[in-house]
Structure 1
Amino acid sequence: MDDCPPLSRSIAGRVAIVTGAAGGMGRATALLFAAEGAKVAVCDLDAVGCEAVVAEISAAGGTALACPLDVGDHDAIKLNVEKITGHFGGIDILVNNAGISAFSPLDAGNEYDMIWDRALAIMLTAHQRMVRAALPWLRKSDAARIVNIASTEGLGATPGDTPYVAAKTGVTGLTRGLAVDLGKEGITVNCICPGPIRTGMTDKVSEADKAVFANRRTALRRYAWPEEVAHMTLSLVLPAASYVTGAVIPVDGGLTARNA
């Protein structure tokens, strides 16, 4: 029997794209990747936020590039991938993290249609467009990794959240489909489903309400920090994570495991 080839647990020198990287889980991921030695393209609709994250990375001795990007704009995706590859010379890692809140009652009329269209454009269609734009470069990498950030809303549903639920459920399916399509090339594609996380989307929830929800729904009885999700993302993009693909992994404090 042949021996296993060397398996590296380092992403030093790898080029990573992180969308939605100006805050929350995206920012935590960008900072962690840079701390591990990766060259990080910080992509977000918030141009000021992009620059702030790049400044944080640079101050810590890391390497990053600010890439203001509306992932709902197909042409902008292609232009930014060109910018990133022109600057860094390639792409090894893609983290599709950009997202929006999309609560809307079914009887909201035109407003519902607008929220539905935007939810799918930002949180599903943009994911496959980012993959397709980056794919020629990922194919040149010896350890290409794609991680899509979905949600536990892609594994269940909250009332009034149908556009978000539909988009995130689509992400889990997209992940499996891409994993099958790209597996023969050694490109892994995985999905993380975060549960209750302390991000901008949950800032409006009071600490008291957070505690009630966490105690009622999660096994760990708390909300997570974005950094805890970022570390799972890091695990999936390591060169050594070479036999994990098509996985849908809850990072939810036991929310999906708990019945009562």
Structure 2
Amino acid sequence: MSGELSPIDKAKFVAAKRASDLVEDGMRVGLGTGSTAAWLVRCLGERVREEGLRFRGVPTSTRTAELAREVGITVISLDEARWLDVTIDGADEFDGNFNLIKGGGGALLQEKIVATASDQMVVIADAAKRVEHLGAFPLPVEVIPFGWPTTQALIEEMLVSMDVMGRNSTLRMTGDAPYVTDEGNHILDLHLGRIGDPRQLSLVLNQIPGVVENGLFVDICDTVIVGFGDGRIELRDINTGETENERLDFVENENMFADLGDWKRD
């Protein structure tokens, strides 16, 4: 497998592999959406098959639910689980305070609900996702379809008073049609360049009529597991302030990740 993966894919894999070790029998686990989260689901499926691991997964999208069932993970809804032991998910960006931008894969609403319904949230990412300031990655904002141009105008007007570098926004598209989330909403991607105060921006965005939720995750993430292309892994815990460094040796595998080509982000 190591010969078939790019350095970024290797980094995502080692982070996901390390995070999969955190799951124990009987846990209720939130399963994120995106390319890195898909590696996690595959790694957990391997543990289910080879070790007999038994846990229940709460997916954050229909795509993740389908993949989890495919690899043998027991899938339940958040309504059934009510509360989770841990959620493990990717991120489009994270800063030194563990603030995140998420939603590149289009599932930010379910991802935020599931993450906040957990005892802890673990983020898995390649090293390129670590930034000094959030905002280089477009900030997704989920909005209802009704009157979305008005919502967009209100957002751009509000951004004039925010500590950001840019104020442009675009409606996310799928071909010639607007992208539709699992909840039937649209996504506006805000091209901000730099976000000076993620907490303030998140609070103000969610007060705008038509906005359902935004992709800023503030005070939600507890641990970040960063993978590197050479197999190194860095674990950072915001609660203890500790950082651990490990290394994972690559082992050839029967191409268990060959069908992940559609999982582009996070």
Tell me which interval the TM-score lies in, with the shorter structure as reference length. Answer: 0.3 to 0.5
Task: Give the TM-score of the pair, scaled to structure 2.
Answer: 0.35
Considering Cα pairs closer than 8 Å and 6+ residues apart, tell me whether 1 or 2 has the greater RCO: 2
